[in-house]
Structure 1
Amino acid sequence: MAVSEALEGNQLFPVFLKLNQLHTVLIGGGNVGLEKLTALLNNSQQAQVTVVAEQLLPEVYDLAAGYPRVKLIKKSFTEEDLDDADLVVAATANNILNERIRQAAHQRKLLINVADKPELCDFYLGSIVKKGDLKLAISTNGKSPTVAKRLKQVLNEALPAELDTTLQQLSALRETLTGDFAGKVKALNKATAILVDPKPVKKKNFKWLIWLSIIASIAIAVTALWFNEPGFKLYVQDISPVFYYFLAAGFVFAMIDGAIGMSYGVTSTAFSLSMGISPASASMAVHLSEIMSNGIAGWMHYRMGNVNWKMFKLLIIPGIIGAATGACLISSLEHYAMYTKPLVSVYTLILGSVILSKAFKTGKKKSADKIKRISLLGLGGGFIDAVGGGGWGSIVLSSLIAGGRHPRFSLGTVKLTRFFIAMIGSLIFLTMLNGAPWSAIAGLIIGSALAAPIAARISNRISVKVIMVAVGIIVILVSLKSITSFLMKFI
C-alpha cells in the first residue's frame, strides 16, 4: 500500500480523557469560550478548568458559579498561564494570539485545541452522545461540525435511555462472575445477545399471552354486541345511523391516536358525551373499542420491537387495579349521569388543554430527570382513564416521555398495557351496567380496529404538532359545548 493511500481518510485516534484528574486551561471568555466550557463541564462535572480572558461574558460567570473546580482569571494571556496545564483550549477570535498560545503549548509538550481552526488542533472536541455511563464520540475529522451535531441528534433519539440501566445491570453481573477470562467473556456475550437479536428470547414469554388475550377480548366484544345489538347481526337490514357516525369517528380517532400516542379516549369520550351518551356508557364504549384496537396496535409494536418489558411489568398490575376501581366507581354513579356528565366534560376540557399545550413543547429539549414511580403512575392513570373515559395515553405516555423515557418504547409499551387495562375495565362495565348504546359501541370497535394496524405503521410519519393542535382545539370546543348545555338548564 502506498504511503499516500495510507494517509487518506480520518487519521484520528479516539480517546476518552479523565478531565477530573487533569488541569485544562481555557483561553477566551466570549461566546466560543462559553461553548467550549459548557462542553467540558457537560462531560465532566468535576473537571478542573482555569479560564483566562480579558473579558468574560456574564453567562461564563453564571456557569462557573455552579462548579467549584472552575477558576476564572480576568487578564491578558501570558505563557506562564500554561505552566500547570495538562490540556489547552484556545477560544479567542484573535488568530495571532491563537498561534502564540499554540507555540507556548507545544514548547511545554501540551496538546491544544484551537476553536474553528482544525489545522492548528492536536485534538478535537467532538459531538458526544450520552446515555448515563454510555458515551459515543462523533468525529468528522474537522470537515463538518454541523454533520456531527446532526448525527448526535439522530443517535440521541434512536438510542433508548434504558441502555444505561442495561450497563448498570451488566456491571453488577460482571462483579459476580468467577472463572477464567474466556468464561467471563462467554457469560457476558450471552447476556448481551438480546441487544442484537431481532427476536429476543424474552419476547417469547409474552407471545402466547398476547395472542390468547386478543382472542378472548374479541370474543368478549362480539358476544356483547351479538346479544345486545340486533343491528350487529349480518341479516338485519335496519342498522342505526348512529353506528355509521361512530364508525367514522372511531377510525379517525384511532388514526390520530396512532400518530401522537394519545387522545383516543378523550376524543371518543368528548364525542360520545356530545351525542347524549352518559359518562359510564361512554367510558364502556371507549374501553370495549380499545380492546381490539389496542390489541392490534400492541401486537404491531411488539412485532416491531417497541415494547420495554421492564416498564410493562411496572405498569400492568397497578394500571389494572386503577382501571377496575375507576370503572366500579363511575358505574355505581350511572343514575347520577346528569351531574357526572359535566364533571367528565370538565375533565376532557382539561385534557384537551394539556394536549394543546404539549403541541407547542414537542420540539423543546427536555432536561427532566427520568421518572421512577412508574407503578404509581400506572395506578393513577388507570383510575382516571376509567372514570373519565380516557387519559391513559395523555397521562401515562406524556409523563414517561417528559420524564426521560424513550418515545418509541414508551408508545409501544403504553399501547400494549392499554389493551389489558381496557379488557378488565370492559368486563366490569358489562357486569355493572344494565344497558348501553350498542350501535355506538359497535361503530367505535370496528372503526378503531380498522385504523389500528395502519396507525401503528405511520406513527412516525405524520406531523405531530399539527394533529395535536387540531385535537386540542376540537376537544376543548366539544367539552365547552357539553358544559354550556348543562349550565343552560339552570338559566
Structure 2
Amino acid sequence: METFLLFFVVGALAQAVDGALGMAYGVIANTVLLAFGVPPATASASVHVAKIFTGGASAASHVMHRNILWPLFWPLAAGGVLGGVLGAYVLTGVDGDRIKPFILGYLLLIGAWVLWRATRPMRPREMPPRLSGPLGLVGGFLDAIGGGGWGPTVTSTLVGAGADPRRAIGTVNTAELLVTSAISAAFLAALMSGRWAGGALEDHGAAIGGLIVGGLIAAPFAGAVTKRIPARQLTFAVGVLIVSLAAYQGLQLAGMVP
C-alpha cells in the first residue's frame, strides 16, 4: 500500500506538470522508478503502460478545449510511432544509458533557446507539417529509450520554433497517446518473442497502478490549465522545466546526486 500511495502522488504531480507544460510525466515517473532500482527497460515499459491511461484522459481534455494543431498532429504522431517502436527495439537489446549524455546536452541547448525566446516579442508561428514527421521520429525514439522524452524533445522544439505554446502542448500531448500505445505494443512484442526478459513487470504492479490512478485524477484539468496561462509565462515555464530536468539528470550521471 505504501508503494501504491507513493506512486499515486508521483503520478498525480507528474501528470499535472505534463498536462500543463506538455512534458515531464515520463521523465519524472521514470526517474523515480530508476531510483527504486527498477531496470531501465522495465521502468520505461512500466511508464508507457501507465501513460496509455493518463494520456487518453489528457488528450480528451485538450481536444475539448481546442488546443490541437491538426495539420501538425498526424505527421507528428506517425513519426512518433515509428521512432518509438525503433527505440523500444533498441532499448531491449542495448544499454540506453550510453546515449543519455547526448540527450541531456540536446535538452539543455533547447531549454536555453526556449528561455531566450520567452524574453523576446511573442510572434506565434506554425512549424511546416513536413518537418513535424522527422521531429516526431526523433521524439518517439528518445521517449522509448529514456522512458520519457517525447514532451521535452517535441514540445520544446515546437515552442522554440515559435509555435503558440498552448496549442503546441495540446498537440504534443494528444499525439503522445498514439506514440505511447505503439511503444507499449513494441515492448510486449519484444517480451513475447523472447528478445527481452521483461524484468518482472508484475513485481511493479503497485507502482504502475499508483501512476495510473494518480495521473487519471490530474489529467482532466490539463486542457483548462494550459488554456488559461499566458503564452509568455507558459514559454518561460517550459524552458525552466527543460533546463532543470536536464541539469538534474546530468548531476545524476556525474554521481553528484542519488
Same fold flag (TM > 0.5):
yes
Q: 1:466 to 1:405 in 2, by over 3 A?
A: closer
Q: Which amino acid aligns with 2:108?
A: S
Q: Distance in 2 between matches of 1:348 and 1:443?
A: 28
Match of 2:68 in 1: 307
The answer as to 2:211 corresponding to 1:444 is yes
- How far is 1:361 from its partner? 3.8
- How far is 1:482 from its partner? 5.0
The answer as to 2:132 corresponding to 1:374 is yes
Give aligned pairs, total: 242
The answer as to 2:146 corresponding to 1:384 is no
Taking structure 2 as the reference length, the TM-score comes to 0.80
- How far is 1:458 from its partner? 1.3
Match of 1:105 in 2: none
1:276 to 37, 43, 56: 37
Q: Distance in 2 between matches of 1:355 and 1:250?
A: 26
What pairs up with 1:411-422 in 2 under 5 angstroms? 411-422=169-180
Taking structure 1 as the reference length, the TM-score comes to 0.44
2:15 to 237, 254, 257: 254
Q: Percent identity?
A: 30
Match of 1:473 in 2: 244
- How far is 1:314 from its partner? 1.4
- How far is 1:251 from its partner? 0.8
Q: Could you report, residue by residue, the CA deviation over 1:298-339 in whole angstroms, capped at 9, with x for unpaired residues? A: 111112222222211211222111111111110223xx5xxx
Q: Is the 8 A contact 2:10 2:214 kept in 1?
A: yes
Q: 1:351 to 1:445 in 2, by over 3 A?
A: farther
- How far is 1:472 from its partner? 4.0
Higher strand share: 1
- How far is 1:254 from its partner? 0.9
What pairs up with 1:87-102 in 2 under 5 angstroms? none
Q: Over the residues paired in the alignment, what is the CA RMSD in angstroms?
A: 3.0
Q: Distance in 1 between matches of 2:32 and 2:139?
A: 21
The answer as to 2:105 corresponding to 1:353 is no
Q: 1:483 to 1:447 in 2, by over 3 A?
A: farther
- How far is 1:368 from its partner? 9.7
Q: 1:318 to 1:365 in 2, by over 3 A?
A: same
Bigger radius of gyration among the two: 1
Higher helix share: 2
2:118 to 359, 362, 369: 362
Q: Which amino acid aligns with 2:255?
A: T
Q: Distance in 1 between matches of 2:213 and 2:175?
A: 20
Q: Is the 8 A contact 2:76 2:132 kept in 1?
A: yes
Could you tell me which runs of 5 or more consecutive residues in structure 2 were left unpaired when the two chains were aligned. Answer: 192-197
Q: 1:450 to 1:352 in 2, by over 3 A?
A: farther
Q: Helix, strand or coil for the counterpart of 1:484?
A: coil
- How far is 1:371 from its partner? 3.2
Q: Helix, strand or coil for the counterpart of 2:90?
A: helix
- How far is 1:295 from its partner? 0.9
Q: Is the 8 A contact 2:29 2:47 kept in 1?
A: yes
- How far is 1:261 from its partner? 1.6
The answer as to 2:80 corresponding to 1:325 is no
Match of 1:429 in 2: 187
Q: For structure 1, which segment, 355-364 or 266-275, has the greater mean C-alpha deviation from structure 2 after superposition?
A: 355-364
Q: Is the 8 A contact 2:67 2:223 kept in 1?
A: no
What pairs up with 1:11-410 in 2 under 5 angstroms? 239=1, 241-333=2-94, 340-341=96-97, 343-344=99-100, 346=101, 349-350=104-105, 353=108, 357=112, 358-359=114-115, 361-365=117-121, 371-372=127-128, 373-410=131-168
Q: Is the 8 A contact 1:270 1:479 kept in 2?
A: no
More contact order relative to length (CA 8 Å, sep ≥ 6): 2
Q: Which amino acid aligns with 1:371?
A: M
Q: Helix, strand or coil for the counterpart of 1:312?
A: helix
- How far is 1:362 from its partner? 2.2
Q: 1:399 to 1:439 in 2, by over 3 A?
A: same
Q: Distance in 2 between matches of 1:443 and 1:424?
A: 22
Q: Which amino acid aligns with 1:353?
A: L
Q: Could you report, residue by residue, the CA deviation over 1:383-402 in whole angstroms, capped at 9, with x for unpaired residues? A: 11111111211111222222
Q: Could you report, residue by residue, the CA deviation over 1:25-54 in whole angstroms, capped at 9, with x for unpaired residues? A: xxxxxxxxxxxxxxxxxxxxxxxxxxxxxx
Q: Helix, strand or coil for the counterpart of 2:67?
A: coil
Q: Distance in 2 between matches of 1:243 and 1:348?
A: 30
Q: Is the 8 A contact 1:256 1:467 kept in 2?
A: no
Q: Distance in 2 between matches of 1:369 and 1:267?
A: 29
Q: Distance in 1 between matches of 2:156 and 2:31?
A: 20
Q: Which amino acid aligns with 1:247?
A: F
Q: Helix, strand or coil for the counterpart of 1:447?
A: helix
Q: Is the 8 A contact 1:262 1:393 kept in 2?
A: yes
- How far is 1:451 from its partner? 0.8
